[in-house]
Structure formats: structure tokens, C-alpha cells
Amino acid sequence: AQTVTQSQPEMSVQEAETVTLSCTYDTSESDYYLFWYKQPPSRQMILVIRQEAYKQQNATENRFSVNFQKAAKSFSLKISDSQLGDAAMYFCAYRRGGAQKLVFGQGTRLTINP
Amino acid sequence: NAGVTQTPKFRVLKTGQSMTLLCAQDMNHEYMYWYRQDPGMGLRLIHYSVGEGTTAKGEVPDGYNVSRLKKQNFLLGLESAAPSQTSVYFCASGASGTYNEQFFGPGTRLTVL
């Protein structure tokens, strides 16, 4: 079974600095997709960024980028120029190609210090 | 567009009571999902549907039933609520495509006493 592990229950960063959230996953599949979701105190799950396993180029969305290391099964999220609005729980998720189920990690709570 | 909406937002039940959670989406998505989120854990899939009239079991289906009579609605039922079903429930919808991206509703906090 596929598993997703986020080893950092909590992280904190100073406003305007850069922070990296870790995620590792375990799969024997070659066709899969990876996602980072943000869950602010409002509880709404918001997709931050996504990556297809076949694409070697790391995905980027404005201040958010990933470091996708396929051989190491690692998918870390880098947030540059951190803002107060970035404070939230962040979840890494995996989906096997052709499957419906998203497998989530346990989450990392990110605090932004002003 | 309202996106994905869930009714109700909060509910308190007594053990043994039944209830139905309603999810509605206005994005014409084929796929719909029900997840639960427990403290210290990510979301886990309960049931899902790949189209009107179809449903399938997810990772933690026991104690729940679902129905997808209309494309835009996905209902989650608890026939006899148990304290172990105290959780936050999220509905999501998605369209077929490369990423099959899922869009989530705001969640329902359910407490079973």
C-alpha cells in the first residue's frame, strides 16, 4: 500500500524568509501524481501545487515550488518570501495513476512569525 | 460559482442516531468523494463516485453509506452513529483529466456523544 510521510509535525519561519516542508512517499508505481494542499484555520483544503511523476521539471506556482526527487521518493515544498497568510496546515498527498484515492500525509503545521 | 458546498457545517448526534450529510457541486464534475479527517491525521477516503448512479468503497467505508442520485449531489449517511465517527467530514469533486484534481468543500464537524 502506498504511504505518505511528513516527518515535521510543526515548522515555523520568520516573515519574508524561506521554509521547506518535507514529504516522502512509498510506492512501487511509476505512474502517479503528487500534491501539496494547504488547510488554513477555516478548514478549507486548497490545492497549492501539483507534480506529475513523469515530469522531471519541478513544479512552480509563484512563491511555491517543489523539489521532486523521484529516486529518493521525496517531494518537498519550498515557500519563498513567507507571508502571514501562509500560516496553515500543509498536507502532502499521492495519487496513483488511474486511481481515485488521494493518500494524505499527517500534515505539517506552519507558523509564520512577524 | 459556489464550488463545493456541504450541509450542515456542524452537527452533534447521540450514539445510535442517524443522519445524512449533503454535498453539492456546481462544476459539472463527474467524480465526487467523501473523506474524514481525524486529529493528527490526514484525510482518509470513505466512499467515492465516478458518475451519477455509481458508488465505490474507499479506505474506511464501514459504518457509512452513500448515494449519488444526481450528478451534482453526493450524500453520506450514518445509519447508527458511533463515537468513533466523531470527525470532520470533507466532500470533494473532480473532473477527469491528467491530474484529476480534487476540489474540496468547507467540511462538516460531527460530534457523536
For A30, other C-beta atoms within 10 Å of its C-beta total: 10
Residues 6+ apart with CB under 8 A from B46: B34, B35, B36, B58, B59, B60, B61, B64, B66, B76, B89
Residues B43, A45: C-beta atoms closer than 8 Å: yes
| pLDDT score at B98 | 66
Give the residue, A49 or B101, on which the prediction is more confident.
A49
Question: Which residues of chain A lie closer than 8 angstroms to B100, CB-CB?
Answer: 33, 95, 100
The pLDDT of residue A112 is above 90: yes
The reply to whether residue A102 touches residue B106, judged by beta carbons under 8 angstroms, is no
pLDDT at B40: 79
Q: For residues A1 and B111, which has the higher predicted lDDT (pLDDT)?
A: B111
* A/B interface, count of CB pairs below 8 Å: 56
Residue A34 clears pLDDT 80, i.e. is over it: yes
pLDDT at A53: 92
Across chain A, mean pLDDT equals 94
Q: How confident is the model over A26-48, as a mean pLDDT?
A: 93
Q: Tell me, what's the pLDDT at B27?
A: 92
Mean pLDDT of the region A78-89: 97
Contact B88 A43 (CB under 8 A): yes
Per-residue pLDDT in tens (0 to 9) along chain B, 113 residues: 679 999 999 999 999 999 999 999 999 999 999 999 998 788 999 999 999 999 999 999 999 999 999 999 999 999 999 999 999 999 999 987 767 789 999 999 999 99
Taking the C-alpha atoms of residue A88 and residue B54, their distance in angstroms, rounded to an integer, is 35
